[in-house]
Amino acid sequence: MKIAIGSDHAGFRYKECIIQHLREGGHEVMDFGTHSAETADYPKFIRPVAEAVAAGEYERGIVLGGSGNGEAIAANRVRGIRCGLCWNLESARLTRLHNDANVLSLGERMMTVEMALEIVDVFLTTAFEGGRHLARIRQIDEP
């Protein structure tokens, strides 16, 4: 799978771990930054991830910050993006199953790195169930 990823300084450490995990799993990963733990403004790195996913250049996106809230908000401002802020395995499963989320937002300060990696795996392997949820999602994406 082709995956776009980006973070601010508060998500940098987990971003690096996730990139390694994804590449070891055979995924193609594009890192949109930031490239250090030095203070950075998250929209500079999050919006390009969302735009690349919305354009179809990447199948999924992952964005990270301290809480993941601002990153989810920034990503969801891009038409065609359905970014789910996840904090456990069930929230990751449901954001894919019911919402067909194409971007995952994680908060480095909210969980262990082990949990973050498990959430990523669930997000990438859970299929959208379609059906009654599809009509609602299409209404959101259409102008």
Tell me the per-residue pLDDT of 52-101, one tens digit each, with 9 for 90 and over: 999 999 999 999 999 999 999 999 999 999 999 999 999 999 999 999 99
Q: Which of 89, 123, 117 is nearest to 15 (CA)?
A: 117
Q: Which fold has domain 2-141?
A: Ribose 5-phosphate Isomerase B; Chain: A, (3.40.1400)
Q: Please report how the helices 113-125 and 12-24 are oriented relative to each other, as an axis angle in degrees rounded to 10.
A: 50
Burial-class residue 58 by CB neighbours within 10 Å (0-12, 13-18, 19+).
buried
Provide the whole-model pTM.
Answer: 0.91
Catalytic residue, from 21, 27, 98, 133: name it.
98
- Asked if the bond preceding 95 is cis, omega within 30° of 0, the reply is no
Mean pLDDT, residues 134-142 taken together: 58
Q: Is 16 a catalytic residue?
A: no
Q: Tell me, what's the pLDDT at 130? A: 77
Residues 6+ apart with CB under 8 A from 55: none
Q: Tell me, what's the pLDDT at 2? A: 98
Catalytic residue, from 9, 51, 71, 108: name it.
71
By DSSP bridging, strand 103-107 and strand 60-65 are: parallel
Contact yes or no for 74/46 (Cβ under 8 A): yes
Residues 6+ apart with CB under 8 A from 30: 2, 3, 4, 5, 52, 58
Q: Is 98 a catalytic residue?
A: yes
